Amino acid sequence: MAINRLNNNKTIIIAGIAAVILWIIIAAVTFDRAFIPLKNYIGKNSKIILEVSVINDDLTRTGSLIKRVIFYETYKPVNYKNNVKKYLKKLSLTVNKTDGDYKKLFTLLNIKTPLKLKNVSISNAKYFTAFAKKSYYHWEYVSKPIIKRFIKYTGFVTLKLSDRMFLEYTLNKSVLPTYAFIRKISAGFIYLVRFAAFVFIFGIIVIVFLGVLVIYYLNKFFREIRKSEERFRTMFDSSPVAHLVKDIETGNIIDANKTAEKFYGYTRKELTAMNITDIALVSKEEDKRFRMEAYNKGIGNPISKIFNHKLKNNDIKRVEVTLSKIEIDDKEYLINSIIDITEKILYENSLKKSVEFFKILSENIPSIVCLYREKVIYMNSFCLNALGYSIDDIADLNPLDLVDVREEEKFKLFENMKRRLNGESFDEKYTLKVKKKNGKTFWGEIIARTVFFENKWTGLVIINDVSDRVVKELNLQNERDILKEISELDDLTNIANRRSFNEILDNSISDAMLKNAKFSLIMFDIDRFKEINDTFGHQAGDAVLSELAFLIKENIRKNDFFARFGGEEFMIISNNIGIGGAVELAEKLRLKIETNGFSSKINVRCSFGVTAYKREDNAESIIKRADDAMYKAKENGRNRVESIE
């Protein structure tokens, strides 16, 4: 069956009309661009030639009248005065007529009058205009003034003088070259005729070319129509959806595809002999209302409805029927698209039962159960009671409002929420502070996972209160931290001990190796500390050590590490500083110690050894180098800073 096929005769008529219109356009263009200009050219230039001839006749007549006047004035025959008077009157009229004819010629040539002397140049002028201006100049400024004086003073003119004056030096100079005008006009006429022939021939070529194109594209168009009909038939038959084409008025089935044959169990021949109500379990009135509704919607506006359809084996299937209006061979029909939704309905019913089972289960467990998408969509009764929310609060509740965490942790939780809602399945387990509606918090163990709930990806959260356990764990951790701190501090000075120093030094060396960082090591001890103990007692010595440790802590940077290495020896790890900066720091500390007033009134002095980390160093090598530098300070007089690179 073909659909949307154009009638061949109609297409040929349209093509013929298009060709006629094309011929008319070409003819109009040829007439407008060739024949009309040719007609105008011939008309205008004929008037110019005619006017030139008239002016030349006027000049010839003027010369003839002047000869007659000169003859009568010279030979004075009988009654000559009357004849002179008569010819002078004719001469005046001829002069005026000549002026008028010049004006007509100038109008045709678009020349403004009166013509001034400076306008008479013929260089670079148009062909006709140049001759006309030259002729008019001789007439206006030479011939006409002399003729007027001749009319006024006729009796003083001699025969010999008058002939040469008027014929050779006046009127003959004003005569226009008629032959030159005609030759120029003929050349223009030939050019226009050739141009018209060119336009006509070009138009014929264009028409032939366009005609070939029309024939080519018409042939291509009909081939495409045949291909589209074949494609439609192929698509109609190979569609995985069952299709039935039916009559709008009666509901009779006109055509069916192979999927429809397979679905209903009937052959195409059997289906096309049936009415739609033979398979759709509806009354003819209801089916007619459905058909009319689809028809009134028009082409491209389908409507859908769910029906029960009966198969050939008497099985009943629940189907979704989409009905839309189409055109086939310029006639309107309706096409049914039938989708079997029996299994979908069974699945939806099963899903409803699963949802009901989930709600029954969640309502009877002593844990917080929450479902969320962009907002919280469900809380079980235990959750509502535990957190203090009501059902009305759920609609505007953000899942992240249920936890009390820092912003960076909240961002991580938000990213995981987005992953779940996009269908990514993974499980998580947190121990976080859970926030109630009243702002109070408790520690909760949160289990989060991805579920498919009501046909959408959803986040499931189960929360158990573990506050007692977390408090116990925190107390235990605090005790551990206290013990660790005690084990890493020196009892007397309350600064890091040697054990802690060894650990930090190893870390600093590792960072320097991996990150290409730098650090320096400062080692110092109290000069003659044994004498202090022997003279003032060990309690005074301990006091000096404590005060010295406090003084150094107050005068180093926050990222510097300070430790008691043993006895009266101390170590400073200066991070991100080279040996020059470390020497300056050591000198600053030496002066602070020297000028400090210790409580025991004892003058305390220290010797400093400074070195910087090198790539081949280990803990032992860098400590030895710092120790060597410190003993170098002692050898050089004590209370000074020495360095070894």
| Active centre residues (catalytic) | 568
C-alpha span between 18 and 37 (Å, rounded): 28
Look at residue 605 and give its three-state secondary structure.
coil
C-alpha span between 280 and 338 (Å, rounded): 11
Locate 523 and state its tokens: 């080692």
* Number of residues that this document lists for the chain: 645
Look at residue 362 and give its three-state secondary structure.
helix
- Amino acid at position 59, single letter: L
* Closest-CA residue to 492 (of 407, 549, 410, 417): 549
Look at residue 333 and give its three-state secondary structure.
strand
Burial of 66 (0-12, 13-18, 19+ CB in 10 A): buried
Count the neighbouring beta carbons within 10 Å of the beta carbon of residue 253: 23
**573 neighbors 518 (Cβ within 8 angstroms):** no
List CB contacts of 324: < 8 A, sequence separation 6 or more.
294, 297, 299, 300, 301, 302, 303, 334, 335, 337
Look at residue 5 and give its three-state secondary structure.
coil
Q: What Cα–Cα distance (Å) separates residue 538 from each residue in 495, 543, 624? A: 19, 9, 28
Look at residue 11 and give its three-state secondary structure.
helix
Angle among Cα 420, 426, 431 to the nearest 5 degrees reads 95
List CB contacts of 586: < 8 A, sequence separation 6 or more.
522, 524, 608, 610, 641
Burial of 90 (0-12, 13-18, 19+ CB in 10 A): middle
CA 95 to chain centre: 81
Residue with tokens 């025959």: 77
* Closest-CA residue to 120 (of 105, 130, 110): 130
C-alpha span between 315 and 220 (Å, rounded): 49
CA dihedral angle for residue 222, residue 227, residue 229, residue 234, rounded to 10 degrees: 170
**48 neighbors 108 (Cβ within 8 angstroms):** yes
Concatenate the DSSP letters of all residues of 509-531 into one string.
HHHHHHH---EEEEEEEETTHHH
Q: How far apart are the first and last CA of the chain?
A: 98
**459 neighbors 424 (Cβ within 8 angstroms):** no
